[in-house]
């Protein structure tokens, strides 16, 4: 048996997703870029305390996702610092036992970004 989804239902699903996701920037106090179902959070870290602030932002993001019953795919979610990390301690960002994987480069919207700011 084949089930079809009407265009009206697809529009409703997309509209609800947009309502959800467009609420996000009002609830997270950092820079956010949204594109389709992708979300990029970024924050400048100048001092060690900024890492703690970023951790709290990530926790707020996770709480927002939980509130709206959206799950974070931790296999696709990465942490990429744009700096030379050898002089900073390695901070870990995690939520409910899932830790973000630190990567030296990441592909986003077809562009490959690297930690040393080349692309």
Does this model's pTM top 0.95? no
Q: What is the pLDDT of residues 52-89, one digit of tens each?
A: 888 888 888 888 888 888 787 888 888 877 765 554 56
Query: Residues of 37-70 as b/e, b for ≥16 C-beta within 10 angstroms?
Result: eebebeeebeeeeebeebeebbebbbebbeeeee
Residue 40 resides in a domain: yes
Residue 46 resides in a domain: yes
Residue 87 resides in a domain: yes
Domain count for the chain, please give it.
1
Residue 21 resides in a domain: no
Residue 95 resides in a domain: yes
Instruction: Quote the domain boundaries for residue 87.
Output: 27-114
Q: What is the pLDDT of residues 104-119, one digit of tens each?
A: 888 878 888 888 776 6
Contacts of 60 (CB under 8 A, 6+ apart): 27, 28, 29
Residue 61 resides in a domain: yes
């Amino acid at each position: 048996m084949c089930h079809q989804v009407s265009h009206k239902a697809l529009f409703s699903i997309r509209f609800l997703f947009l309502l959800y996701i467009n609420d996000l920037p009002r609830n997270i106090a950092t820079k956010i870029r949204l594109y389709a179902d992708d979300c990029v959070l970024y924050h400048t870290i100048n001092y060690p305390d900024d890492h703690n602030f970023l951790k709290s932002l990530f926790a707020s993001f996770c709480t927002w996702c939980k509130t709206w019953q959206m799950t974070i795919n931790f296999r696709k979610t990465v942490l990429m610092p744009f700096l030379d990390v050898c002089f900073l301690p390695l901070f870990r960002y995690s939520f409910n036992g899932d830790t973000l994987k630190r990567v030296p480069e990441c592909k986003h919207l077809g562009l490959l970004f690297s930690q040393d700011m080349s692309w």
